[in-house]
Amino acid sequence: MAPSIGGAMAEFCSDGLAFSPTAKARVAELLGRYPRKQGALIPVLWLAQEEFGWLSPAVLDLVAAELGLSKSAVLATAMFYTMLYKQPHGRYHVQICTNVSCYLLGADDLVRVAVDALGIQPGETSEDGLFTLEAVQCLCACERAPTLQVNKKDYFRVTPAQFQQLLTQLQEEGLRLGPSVGWPGADNCQGALAEAGHA
């Protein structure tokens, strides 16, 4: 799928789109780990995503330039991996496991709770840029099903009531903090290493 709103972010950050000095140092360190520089590509794409929120075409170009790789090689790799975002994501990426073990223990009820609470379907992002909802594959904690993940944090043996409460909390927090890093129009396009996780 082509990144459809790529232009927005590229324009927004087009003035001096660059890695922070910390990130630049990290790129150099990552390059030292592999006998060929393309080995550092996925780690550097992760880094770029933490810096800029998502991998807009401008960010992909920056990565290509930084590593001295062709733009097409960078694009091909970025497109292949679902966790590398080619579109801006909500501040809270709510990912509900709907694979077999979780399905057996009520995952679909959790999806319904999220759809009702957030007003979006799996695969969609709310207009305010706060939530992206996704039904994901096995998170490999099936003995603690049903499971879900919000950004980098796992939630295990989740009941619908607990999930409802969590979403309400996140909604309140989100209203205070605003949309995610790199959300078009948000004033936080860069230097956000610390922000990508929801502790």
Q: Hunting for tokens 């209203």 — which residue is that?
A: 175
From the CB of 11, what's the least distance to other proteins, in Å? 26
143: which DSSP letter?
Answer: G
Q: In the complex with ligand FES, which residue's Cβ is closer, 99 or 151?
A: 99
Buried b (16+ CB within 10 A) or exposed e, 16-37: ebebeeebeebbeebbeeeeee
Nearer to ligand FES, 22 or 162 (CB): 162
CB of 8 to ligand FES, least distance (A): 34
Residue numbers at the binding site for other proteins (CB under 8 A): 33-36, 38-43, 45-46, 69, 73, 76-77, 79-84, 98-101, 103-105, 136-145, 149, 152-154, 197
- Nearer to ligand FES by Cβ, of 30 and 102: the residue is 102
Nearer to ligand FES, 9 or 111 (CB): 111
Distant-in-sequence, close-in-space partners of 149: CB < 8 Å, separation ≥ 6: 93, 94, 95, 97, 136, 139, 155
**Residue 81: C-alpha distances to residues 42, 55, 76, 85, 189 (Å):** 9, 12, 9, 8, 22
Of 22, 100, 116, 153, which one interacts with ligand FES (CB under 6 A)?
100
CB atoms within 10 A of CB 44: 25
What is the bridge-based pairing of β-strands 148-150 and 153-155? antiparallel
101 binds ligand FES (CB under 6 A): yes
**Considering CB distances under 5 to 8 angstroms, the limit depending on partner class, which of other proteins, ligand FES, none binds residue 153?**
other proteins
How far apart are CB 161 and ligand FES at their closest, in Å?
19
Q: Which listed range, 63-71, 73-81, 100-108, 109-117, lies at the site for ligand FES (CB under 6 A)?
A: 100-108
* Among 57-65, 95-103, 122-130, 158-166, the segment contacting ligand FES (CB under 6 A): 95-103
Nearest alpha-carbon partner for 42 in 16, 18, 20, 60: 60
